[in-house]
Amino acid sequence: MKTKYAIVFICIVALVIIEKESNILSRVSDKLIQRQIPQQTPQTPLDYNNTTHNGSLAMLKMLLSKLTGTTGNYSSLSEEEEEEELDGLSTYSYSAGRKHILLLASTRTGSSFVGEFFNQQGENMFYLFEPLWHVERMLTTASEANNGTVLAGIYRDVLQALFLCDFSPLEKFISPPPEDHITPALFRRESSISLCEEPVCSPVIKEVFERYHCKTRRCGPLNLTLASEYCLSKQHHAIKTVRVRLLDTLQPLVEDPRLDVRVIQLVRDPRAILASRMVAFSSKYQTWKTWAQDGQVPEDDEEVKRLKGNCDNIRVSAEVGLSRPRWLRRRYMLVRYEDIARFPMQKAEEMYRFTGIPFSPQAKEWILRNTQTTQEARGIYSTQKNSSEQAEKWRYNIPFTLAQVVQKVCGPTMKLFGYRFVDDEKTLTNKSISLLEEKLFH
């Protein structure tokens, strides 16, 4: 009998303690949540019937997880762990809401392809392909705005508005200017599924609009108000851009409490990028071709400096991301093009896991269809072999002299990402020597 009372008593004491702790933690979490998620109403899966949207469920889970520990000694958590716990808590509460994926890349890194991983997600996704194209085109021709700092701020603000489905800052940069928010001139509209389906695509009767075709259907000029409404109806938003130079210019965007941003930085061997650009932008890269023929590269030339500048920006951005500053904690992922080429499905899965968005069957199917170069039933294996062979083609295209220059000016960048240097042409073109170190980025 005595022990029974004792147990009851202990239970009551325990309950009182839990209540107290709960209040304290509640206040902490309220604060966190107020900072990180005002206004937005969480949807699944936290949106249980009886859950007040103030994180009390998450609180309960956290308490439970702590109480299952043997000590129950809250102060035994190291500061770091505690931080993680609280971060995890707010992330957990928030993961119920929208996700905003920013795919950061540079040209010729396979970013259109990787962008499709998200474009093809399905009905929960609103995807935009290079909206900053308009900003760059208008501003880099206007000399007074041709200032990296100013430009970066404008890019950030336009991205921020777009993530919130507000097209008006972008409108200012579309040329000719939209009338009544209607434009036929949005860059690569057809690369965004959302802008090419009902209701954003208004069917066209007159042939006049033939040039506004989307891939699968004819659409009239784009009604940006409609696009904005449609955007708001979608749970997740993704934007691909090759125009942001430095990751840390995005800090205010990532910290915007209305957003839940996930940054994926896509990188590629700079030697391969140069080789690919020389083919794709042939006339712009004429000087490089001449240098290759001459066998000499003037290293103080503007072109070489630009290459170095690009490599440095990519490296500095990755260093910021990989150093896990507080504002980017759990919001940054580095992906190498070469890994995607070798293991497209696995990498896509990892990216989706990172974003917290379900990897939809549609997206999987698209990847399967688009990484298989032959119809052979050998599936995954031949896919890997083929696309990784594709990814190595540059080794036979780039003149060794140019590869050497890239190694010289982009050395630290290559080292960081695990791209091996070559000392002679034989190694460059020897298939059995891999130029890729196996490397994980955390």
Q: State the residues that interact with ligand NAG by CB under 6 A.
A: 30, 49-50, 52, 54, 56, 71, 73, 75-76, 147, 149-150, 180, 182, 223, 225-226, 229, 373-374, 376, 378, 382, 385-386, 389, 426, 430, 432-433
182 vs 232, which CB is nearer to ligand NAG? 182
Looking at beta carbons only, is 34 or 282 nearer to ligand NAG? Answer: 34
Residue pair 241/127 in contact (Cβ under 8 Å)? The answer is no
Tokens coding 329: 């904690």
- Which tokens belong to 151? 């430009």
Rounded to a whole number of angstroms, the minimum distance from the CB of residue 162 to ligand NAG is: 17
Query: Which tokens hold the place of 54?
Result: 């103030």
Q: Smallest distance from the beta carbon of 390 to ligand NAG, in angstroms?
A: 7
Nearer to ligand NAG (CB atom), residue 378 or residue 439 = 378
Output Rg (C-alpha) for the chain, integer angstroms.
Answer: 26
The rounded distance, in Å, linking the Cα atoms of 209 and 230 is 22
**CA gap 24, 268 in Å, rounded:** 48
Burial environment of residue 21 by CB neighbours within 10 A (0 to 12, 13 to 18, 19 or more): middle
Residue with Cβ nearer ligand NAG (68 or 432): 432
Look-up of token digits 């609180």: 59
Q: Between 249 and 386, name the residue whose CB sits nearer to ligand NAG.
A: 386
Shortest Cβ 112–ligand NAG spacing (Å): 20
The least CB distance from residue 271 to ligand NAG, in Å, is 18
- State which residue, 181 or 213, has the beta carbon closest to ligand NAG: 181
Q: Are 99 and 259 in contact (CB under 8 A)?
A: no
The residue (of 39 and 50) whose beta carbon lies closer to ligand NAG is 50
Residue 24 tokens, joined: 């304290």
CB of 26 to ligand NAG, least distance (A): 6
> Helix 270-280 and helix 286-294: axis angle, to 10°?
110
Tell the smallest beta-carbon distance from residue 31 to ligand NAG (Å): 10
Q: Are 120 and 357 in contact (CB under 8 A)?
A: no
Shortest Cβ 200–ligand NAG spacing (Å): 9
Residue in this structure with the two tokens 């147990």, named with its chain if needed: 7
